[in-house]
Structure 1
Amino acid sequence: MKTLQNLIGGNWEDSRGDEFHEVINPATEEPVGRCPSGSPEDIRRAVDAAVRAQPAWAALPVAERVRLLSRWADTVAEHAAELAEIECHEMGKPVALGTAFIGGAAQAFKAAVAEALDYAFEETITSPAGNTTIARQPLGATAVIVPWNFPVPMTLGALGPLLAAGNTVVLKPSERSPLSAVRLLELMDLPAGVVNLVLGDARAGAPLVADERIGLVHFTGSVDAGRRVGAETGGRLRRSILELGGKDPVVVDAGVDPVATAAAVAFGAFANSGQICTSMERVYVHRDIAGEFIDALTDAARTYTLGDGHDETTVLGPLVDQRQRDIVHRHVTDAVERGAAVHTGGTVPEGKGFFYPATVLTGVDDSMLVMQEETFGPLAPVVIVSSFEEGLERASASRFGLAATVYTNDPAHMAAARAIPAGVLWVNQWQGGGPERLYEPAGDSGMGATGARAAYDAATRPTSIHTAA
């Protein structure tokens, strides 16, 4: 079992801390790696390296930074299947699904860094009083903290604009899925210190967020942890981009194909065992098609076969660990005890692995845990509504606002759906859109606009230089 190392200033080295934990394969419950728990000294050294490397990296022409980063993206794409195998070992995602997401993430990374070629890092405004040049400078050393559910794609998504804009990065992956981050950086061929990797839990994360030299923290994770990050960075008058939890709704209107829509909702609710920030976690379906939709959703759920993600027949891998499975089952148990009906799933399987079946619930109400708290598991709780307007109203009644999905054939209803407070609204296609998308979460789902040009605005600081006529 390999003991993982940090990457600091271009060198792989042991942690200066003396505590470690095992990384567990959630399908077999066997250890697959030994990860340091982190230490302030690891962080100090990594930030030192990022600070030293940043001036030379920023001094490179934008086109050269883009060339180097694009080359890395091509390498990642070539190794997508290998990286997906590692993600499967550490957090259970089926290899086929992981390969598709990593390949897509490499393409998105390449597109995001190419945006730097057209971004206005400098522009001049001429007036009778003289010329004003607006120069957007990099922030310096930055921090990226990513969660365990999509370690490679989420790392690439955060890194692209930060690096292309001339910043350097200290990356801290989740302590639950560090193996793929290590391999991702082994594949990297950038100047020493441009990207540094520090492994660990809060013992690494807290000192990284608190370091005065970090100009921006890009954090993806839980609401509670995000609040702590926001309080720390705000107190230091530094920037943070926070993408936190979600309780994403889907509203299914009358008039849509109930069977096809149910299949789409099943994928949105059960893909990656529901361990996606934008998973469909609340389903509001019009009463006119509710019966047929629920039957089709139940039938679709039963096709999500459980198993080790290395098996090509597996559709639903395990949850990341026992703790996560306990949360999921607690939500189901709470709903059933308060009157909900289980159409399929809802029981903890026997045997090894942290598996949980695709589960469909009806008879739920908005006071239940499964409708109030982020589940992050393969559950589809369904509420029957009397009108599309009621569906929108109930979809909007949440403290979360990450994303929302609406299925409707009515143009007026499509327009009305814009009132849902969410960073992203998908109409008739979950996860639709391309690299030009930009958004900011609403409510407790986070803060800080990102994507496309907004990512470059966040990664730079504007300075105005006025020269008198």
Structure 2
Amino acid sequence: MQFDSDTVTPLTTPATVPAAGSAAAGSAAAGGEVAITDPRTGALVGWVDFTTDEELTAAVDRVAAALPGWRRISPADRGRTLANAAELLAESELELAELNHRETGRPLEQALEGVRAGVSTLVQYAELGPLHTGRTLRGGSGAIDYTVPEPRGVVAVLTPWNDPVAVAVGLIGAALVTGNTVVHKPSERCPHLGSRLGEVLASAFPRDVLVSVSGDGSTGARLIAHPAVSTVAHVGSSATGERIARAAALTGAHVVRENGGNDALIVDEGVDPRWAAERAAIAAFTNTGQLCTAVERIYVHEAVAETFVTALVERAGELNRSGALGPLVDERMRQAVHEQVVDAVQTGATALVGGEVPAGPGSFYPATVLTGCRPGMTVMQEETFGPVAPVQIVRSFAEGLRLADDDRYGLSAVVLTPSMEHAQQAAEQLTVGTVKVNDVFGGAPGGSAEPRKASGSGFGYGPGLLDELTLTKVVHIGTPR
């Protein structure tokens, strides 16, 4: 595979079609063709060549060679180049959204929203990059110290399939605008999209400043082991993030990672339970639950529980009847989600709606509401990453707060409450990177957050990411004698 040419060769009929949404029939180490199929229908999307070892080494070497020239370009000029990349991305939004739709099953309108979010992120970093400054300190008379942010070097960016454009361009944009060069490995579940996204973005920059490679986890492992890689930025599962952190401990690479979450939603007494149920449905079922910050467990106060659960079940039923939910990304993911649901039912929970694998093609799974859930159930302890809303009734806000915080993950949490006191308690006591009060998604433009525990480390977006991707040099100037 040549990194500066089209690597996607769509075919009309495959020799052997693997399971829906899967990648098979090839080896990343040896290269080879891999078939990618549509998780909605099982139909072939196309074939993609995985990057070989030799090509991967050559790619990193080229990106390393491009670093000295790119880092010398002024921050303002780098910002203008990033703004140009945003324009090119906007021009390609339909093509990229369609590839996302076909490879991951994400509904087309949501896929378009993801591309547009990526455009906004590039514009934001184009503006923030030139304003990323150091500070000054006065020492003795006639002396001064100042700090200068400098690029870390070659950044390996490893990104997921569930929001493949917005996540990728956020990390890539922050790395490039601060003077780093980038090797990007998108998920093997959407390699056509990753390849085309790389071509669109790379066309805005000097040659080899940004290079994309294709492959699975073994490709990523070889990429981060390359001695020229100074920084690894990863969004994906906690298991993969932990392996990256261990590998980086040997190479000395700096690691920024946003990993899995098991986000809790606390529904306090005094809120409108139907309004709360609508918020819960948005948080649990958007993108078929395949979002890092999707709500994975719900603690509802007994005073509003009956009406809340009834309304949540009604909303889930509406989604199932309308066909508004897209499929899960592949059969493997559907099986993992269903296993958690079955385990919960077998250990005492009740599926009031959903909970069954539907007949027909693709890897669809219905919006599911579980009641009678308890802390020891797998569905309450582990990230489900599917359209499942497990509900546990609590007797007080304090109980809900305690259960919400008793978790090995620490990405974010949601609190729906009319009480300012309870909102402040949640903000203080929840060990997560983001606490959202009376809202389930969103946030101020340019906001930064730092996940905790198994959910990762370092600022994964916002102005804080610019700090993560630069080194601080201190310069001390004294008076000559």
**TM-score scaled by structure 1?**
0.94
Distance 2:402 2:31 in 1: 52
The one of 338, 343, 346 equivalent to 1:329 is: 338
2:268 is equivalent to residue 259 of structure 1: no
**Given that residues 141 and 170 in structure 1 are in contact (C-alpha distance below 8 angstroms), is that contact kept between their aligned partners in structure 2?**
yes
Match of 1:420 among 416, 430, 433: 430
Indicate the residue corresponding to 1:58 in structure 2: 71
Matched, 1:155 2:168: yes
The answer to whether the Cα contact below 8 Å between 1:246 and 1:277 also exists between their aligned partners in 2 is: yes
Alignment equivalent of 2:213, drawn from 194, 198, 220: 198
Question: Partners of 1:399 and 1:26 in 2: how far apart?
Answer: 31
Is the 1:272–1:316 contact (alpha carbons within 8 Å) kept by the matching residues of 2? yes
Identify if the C-alpha distance between structure 1 residues 275 and 6 changes in structure 2 by more than 3 Å, giving closer, same or farther.
farther
Alpha-carbon distance in 2 for matches of 1:37, 1:315: 33
Task: Describe the superposition over 1:401-442 as per-residue Cα deviations: whole angstroms up to 9, x where unpaired.
Answer: 111111011000110011111111111111221232111111
Q: Does structure 2 retain, via aligned residues, the 8 Å contact 1:298–1:344? A: yes
Find out whether 1:277 has 2:286 as its counterpart: no
Between 225-234 and 430-439, report the one with greater CA deviation: 430-439
Shift, 1:202, TM fit: 2.0
Change (3 A) 1:217 1:360: same
Q: Please say which of residues 200-209 and 345-354 is displaced more in the overlay.
A: 200-209
Cα displacement (A) at 1:268: 0.7
| Residue 135 of structure 2 is aligned to residue 126 of structure 1 | no
Query: What corresponds to 2:236 in structure 1?
Result: 221
1:339 aligns to 2:348 (yes or no): yes
Deviates more, 1:108-117 or 1:149-158: 108-117
What is the aligned counterpart of 1:390 among 399, 402, 409?
Answer: 399
3-state SS in 1 of match to 2:82: helix
Matched with 1:310 is none
Amino acid at match of 2:307: E
Q: Report what 1:84 is aligned to.
A: 97
Tell me: CA distance 1:6–1:223, structure 2 relative to 1, closer, same or farther (3 Å).
farther
Instruction: Confirm whether residue 99 of structure 1 aligns to residue 108 of structure 2.
Output: no
Rate the CA distance shift 1:78–1:255 in 2: closer, same or farther, 3 A: farther
Contact 1:16/1:42 (8 A) holds in 2: no
Query: What one-letter code is carried by the residue in structure 2 that aligns with 1:283?
Result: I
1:380 alignment partner in structure 2: 389
Give the gaps of 5 or more residues in structure 2: 9-27
Q: Secondary structure at the match of 2:319?
A: coil
Q: Which amino acid aligns with 2:434?
A: V
Aligned AA (1:185): G
Q: Is the 1:112–1:435 contact (alpha carbons within 8 Å) kept by the matching residues of 2?
A: no
More displaced, 105-114 or 94-103?
A: 105-114
Deviation at 1:19, TM superposition (A): 2.7
Q: Name the residue aligned to 1:456.
A: 466
Which of 334, 356, 360 lines up with 2:365 in the alignment?
Answer: 356
Give the structure 2 partner of residue 409 of structure 1: 418
SS in structure 1 opposite 2:197? helix
**Residue deviations 1:207-237, cap 9 Å, x none?**
1111111110001111111111001112222
SS in 2 for 1:271: helix
1:27-42 pair list within 5 angstroms: 27-42=40-55
Shift of 1:81: 3.0
What residue identity is the alignment partner of 1:128? Answer: G
Q: CA deviation at 1:104?
A: 2.0
The 3-state SS of whatever aligns with 1:187 is helix
Mapped contact 1:37–1:203 kept (Cα < 8 A): no
Q: In structure 1, which of residues 297, 318, 341 is the aligned counterpart of residue 312 of structure 2?
A: 297
CA deviation string 1:72-112 (max 9, x = no partner):
11222233233211101000000011112221221122113
CA distance in 2, matches of 1:339, 1:36: 47
1:443 to 439, 453, 470: 453
Gap runs ≥5 in structure 1: 307-312
Question: What TM-score do you get using the length of structure 2 for normalisation?
Answer: 0.91
Contact 1:435–1:451 (CA under 8 A) maintained in structure 2: no
SS in 1 for 2:361: coil
SS of corresponding position for 1:142:
strand
Please point out which of 295, 319, 323 is paired with 2:328.
319
Contact 2:258 2:460 in 1 (8 A): no
- 2:276 and 2:154 map into 1 onto residues whose CA distance is 45
Instruction: Provide closer, same or farther for how the CA distance between residues 105 and 305 of structure 1 changes in structure 2, counting only shifts above 3 A.
Output: farther
| Cα shift at 1:450 | 3.3
Tell me, in whole angstroms, the C-alpha distance in 1 between the residues paired with 2:59 and 2:475.
33
Aligned residue number for residue 141 of structure 1: 154
1:304 counterpart SS class: helix
Cα separation, 1, equivalents of 2:242 and 2:49: 25
Give 1:350 shift: 0.4
What amino acid is the match of 2:278? A
Distance (Å, rounded) in 2 between the aligned partners of 1:16 and 1:413: 53
1:449: how far off? 2.3
Cα RMSD for the two superposed structures: 1.7
Q: Is the alpha carbon distance of 1:291 and 1:222 closer, same or farther for their aligned partners in structure 2, counting shifts above 3 Å?
A: same
Quote the Cα distance in structure 2 between the aligned partners of 1:64 and 1:369. Answer: 50
Cα deviation per residue 1:296-330 (whole Å; 9 max; x = unaligned)?
Answer: 00011112147xxxxxx742011011100000100
**By how many angstroms is 1:71 displaced?**
1.5
Letter paired with 2:231: L
Q: 1:216 is paired with a residue of what secondary structure?
A: strand
Residues 6/285 of structure 1: CA separation in 2 closer, same or farther (3 Å cut): farther
Question: Does the 8 A contact of 2:195 with 2:214 survive in 1?
Answer: no
Q: Could you tell me the percent identity over the aligned residues? A: 37
CA distance in 1, matches of 2:91, 2:287: 22
Q: CA deviation at 1:6?
A: 5.5
Q: Is the 1:35–1:200 contact (alpha carbons within 8 Å) kept by the matching residues of 2?
A: no
**How many Å separate the matches in 2 of 1:399 and 1:128?**
48
Q: What is the distance in 2 between the residues matched to 1:46 and 1:258?
A: 54
Q: CA deviation at 1:255?
A: 1.1
Distance, in Å, in 2 between the alignment partners of 1:79 and 1:453 is: 26
Is 2:183 aligned against 1:174?
A: no
Deviation of residue 12 (structure 1)? 5.1
Structure 1 runs of 4+ with >6 Å offset: 13-16
In 2, the alpha carbon distance for the partners of 1:46 and 1:181 equals 16
Shift of 1:291: 0.4
Secondary structure, counterpart of 1:254 in structure 2: coil
Q: 1:18 and 1:145 mapped to 2: Cα distance?
A: 19
Q: Is the 8 A contact 1:77 1:102 kept in 2?
A: yes
What does the per-residue CA deviation read over 1:137-174, in whole Å, with 9 as the maximum and x for residues that have no partner? 10111100001111111101211211100001000001
